[in-house]
Every structure is written in structure tokens, then in C-alpha cells.
């Protein structure tokens, strides 16, 4: 009798602990989802406020009490920035500059990285570590002499001044060298025995094999150039040559109280990148974890 009751209480005890455990796990689950949702909303609010402001009528932007969810929208601000202001031009400048710098520096990174990884020559390590060491130097250190260099060569105020320092990319060289190490030597030797030219080997055999690294590097370098601010700010003087970040910054300072225009400008700057991100977010995230570096 007493024994069986003991068993029963033990069973009951076990049941209770199991349900408190379950309840606790559920409570944790709820708190966790709640926290993540609050965070996600906090991430999202600035975009929401930006887009709604850009589409509101000017008087609705400064209405009191505030209009959280606009019921009427206008394209007026967008029309103004693209027709009366140079926004289309900034876009074009940013796009062609970032694209050309990215294409050139991804190619040079792959080629130089390949040579560092697969060839032997005198002073190779000295040269490589010399190049690598420049990653330690913050840009503000080289900025002033570069400015002087551009002024001596008459390049201040031109896009060449932005393009030239981007031809080689130290991080790109480093990343591609690491990646080229994983390509087996036998491939190159076999192709050589078949009489393939060294340059053809690089172009037709090696380059296609490093596509994942090339993709990550392309995204990384493009984003960096698309965002680059301080150097174009120093170099560019004319409105029609501005890149998007410089144009937007100048524009925001000049027309600050015209909130609709400024926020339409921001929306136009942000949206294309966000759309590209949505289309290829997997490569973005993989690129970040592969390269693990920011500007």
C-alpha cells in the first residue's frame, strides 16, 4: 500500500516536472520570438518612415498629429529629383564607376593572386607581405598625399581620380591567392603538357574554377565602391560628376527642410541595392561569411 502510493507520488512528481519543463521551454520560445520580432521591427522602421515620407504630400509630412500611414500618395518628389535635379546623373556616374572598378579589380586580383599562389620567383614573399602590410594602413593616412598626387597630375575633379586607386585591391589579391591555393597543380601541368599557353590556362581553366570566390569578391568590391564617400567627396567638384553618395549628401544639406525631396532621394538611392540584395541574398550572405570583411 505504502509502496504503491510512493510510486504514484513519484509518477505525479515526474509529470509535474515534465510539464514545468515544457512550460518553461514554451515561455522561452514565446520570449525569443517576441524579442526577434521587436528587433526586426526596429530594423524595419527607418525604411518604413523613409518610404512613407518620400510618397507623402509636403503638407502631410509636417502634419500634426502625425500621419503614420498615409492615405494619399504623390510621386511629385521623385519627379522633381529626377527632372529638376541631377539624380539620374548621379546614378549613372555611380553605376558605371562602381562597375568598371569592380570588373578591373576583380580581374587583377584573380590574376595577381594566381601568380602569387602558383608561380615561384625571386622576392615573391617579400612582395606579397609588402602588399599585405598595406591593409594595416588606414585610408586617412594616404589620403592627403593622394590628394596632392591628383592635384599635380591635374586629375582632381575627374572620374579617373576615383578609378585609378581602385585598379588593384589588396584584400582581393589576398582572398584570391588563398583560393588559388586550393586549385590542384596537376591541372596546370596537364594543360601545359597539352601545349596550352600559360595565359590560356589562367583564362580557360583556372578562372572558371574560382567562380565562388570571384562572385563573393565582386559583391564585396562593388558594395564598397558604391558606398565609398570620403574620397569622391574630396575629388569631385562638379555637380554633374557626383556619385550617388556625394550627390545625396550635398543635396540633403542644401534642401534639408524639403523633407519630401530629401527622403525621395534616399529612397531612390537605397531601393536598387535592396532589390539586388533580395534577388541574390544567398550570395550576399555567403560572400560576407567567406570574405568576412567590411569597408
Partner 1 sequence: MALAGGKSTTRNRRGRSEETLVILMAMIPCIGFYVLFMGFPIVYALYLSFHRWSVIDEPVFVGINNYQRILTDDPVFFQSLQNTVIYALAAVLIGIILALSTALLINSLKRFVGLFRTVYFLPVVTSMVAAAVVWRWLYQSQFGFFNQVLSALGLSRIPWLDSPRYALMSVIIMMLWKGLGFNTVLFMAGLHGIPSTYKEAAVIDGANSLQILIHLTLPLLKPTLVFVLITGFIHTFQAFTEMYILTQGGPLRSTTTIVMYLYERAFDWFQMGYASAVAFILFIVIIALTLFQLRFSKTGWEY
Query: In the window 77-136, what residues touch partner 1 (CB under 8 A)?
Result: 108, 111-112, 114-115, 119, 121, 127, 130-131, 134, 136
User: Rounded CA gap, 58 and 129, in Å?
Assistant: 56
User: Rounded CA gap, 56 and 69, in Å?
Assistant: 10
Residues 47-76 that bind partner 1 (CB under 8 A): 47, 49-50, 53, 61-62, 65-66
Contacts of 16 (CB under 8 A, 6+ apart): none
Contacts of 196 (CB under 8 A, 6+ apart): 204, 205
User: Rounded CA gap, 233 and 221, in Å?
Assistant: 19
Residues 201-220 that bind partner 1 (CB under 8 A): 202
Contact 112, 127 (CB under 8 A): no
Closer residue to partner 1, CB minimum distance, 82 or 229: 229
For residue 180, report the phi and psi dihedrals to the nearest 5 degrees. -65, -30
Contact 269, 250 (CB under 8 A): no
What minimum distance in Å lies between the beta carbon of 141 and partner 1? 5
Assess 181 for contact with partner 1 (CB under 8 A).
no
Which residue among 38, 198, 212, 237 contacts partner 1 (CB under 8 A)?
Answer: 198
Which residue among 143, 187, 190, 279 contacts partner 1 (CB under 8 A)?
Answer: 143
What minimum distance in Å lies between the beta carbon of 292 and partner 1? 6
What minimum distance in Å lies between the beta carbon of 28 and partner 1? 9
Closer residue to partner 1, CB minimum distance, 19 or 33: 33
Helix (H, G, I), strand (E, B) or coil at 64: coil
Residues 233-252 that bind partner 1 (CB under 8 A): 234, 244-246, 248-249, 252
Assess 280 for contact with partner 1 (CB under 8 A).
no
Assess 227 for contact with partner 1 (CB under 8 A).
yes
Closer residue to partner 1, CB minimum distance, 76 or 170: 170
Number of residues in contact with partner 1 under rule CB under 8 A? 87
Q: Is 243 exposed, middle or buried (0-12, 13-18, 19+ CB in 10 A)?
A: buried
Closer residue to partner 1, CB minimum distance, 19 or 134: 134
Which residue among 19, 99, 182, 281 contacts partner 1 (CB under 8 A)?
Answer: 281
266-272: long-range pairs with CB below 8 Å, 24+: 266/50, 266/54, 267/50, 267/51, 267/54, 267/78, 268/78, 268/81, 268/82, 268/87, 268/91, 269/244, 269/245, 270/47, 270/50
Closer residue to partner 1, CB minimum distance, 65 or 208: 65
> Of 171, 176, 173, nearest to 292 (Cα)?
171
Which residue among 1, 69, 83, 140 contacts partner 1 (CB under 8 A)?
Answer: 140
Amino acid at each position: 500500500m505504502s509502496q504503491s502510493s510512493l510510486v504514484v507520488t513519484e509518477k505525479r512528481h515526474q509529470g509535474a516536472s515534465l510539464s514545468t519543463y515544457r512550460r518553461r521551454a514554451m515561455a522561452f520560445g514565446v520570449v525569443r520570438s517576441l524579442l526577434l520580432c521587436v528587433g526586426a521591427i526596429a530594423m524595419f522602421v527607418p525604411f518604413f518612415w523613409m518610404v512613407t515620407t518620400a510618397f507623402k504630400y509636403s503638407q502631410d509630412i509636417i502634419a500634426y498629429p502625425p500621419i503614420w500611414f498615409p492615405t494619399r500618395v504623390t510621386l511629385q518628389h521623385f519627379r522633381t529629383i529626377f527632372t529638376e535635379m541631377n539624380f539620374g546623373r548621379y546614378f549613372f556616374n555611380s553605376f558605371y564607376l562602381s562597375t568598371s572598378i569592380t570588373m578591373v579589380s576583380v580581374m587583377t586580383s584573380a590574376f595577381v593572386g594566381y601568380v602569387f599562389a602558383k608561380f615561384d620567383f625571386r622576392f615573391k614573399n617579400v612582395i606579397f607581405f609588402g602588399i599585405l602590410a598595406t591593409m594595416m594602413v588606414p585610408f586617412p593616412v594616404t589620403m592627403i598625399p593622394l590628394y596632392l598626387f591628383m592635384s599635380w597630375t591635374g586629375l582632381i575633379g575627374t572620374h579617373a581620380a576615383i578609378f585609378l586607386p581602385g585598379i588593384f585591391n589588396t584584400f582581393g589579391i589576398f582572398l584570391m591567392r588563398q583560393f588559388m591555393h586550393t586549385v590542384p597543380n596537376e591541372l596546370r601541368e596537364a594543360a601545359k603538357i597539352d601545349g596550352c599557353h600559360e595565359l590560356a590556362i589562367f583564362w580557360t581553366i583556372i578562372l572558371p574554377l574560382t567562380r565562388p570566390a570571384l562572385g563573393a569578391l565582386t559583391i564585396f568590391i562593388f558594395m564598397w565602391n558604391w558606398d565609398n564617400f570620403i574620397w569622391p567627396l574630396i575629388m569631385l567638384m562638379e555637380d554633374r560628376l557626383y556619385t550617388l553618395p556625394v550627390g545625396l549628401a550635398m543635396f540633403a544639406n542644401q534642401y534639408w527642410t524639403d523633407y519630401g525631396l530629401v527622403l525621395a532621394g534616399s529612397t531612390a538611392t537605397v531601393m536598387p541595392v535592396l532589390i539586388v540584395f533580395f534577388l541574390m541574398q544567398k550570395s550576399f550572405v555567403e560572400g560576407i561569411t567567406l570574405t568576412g570583411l567590411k569597408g
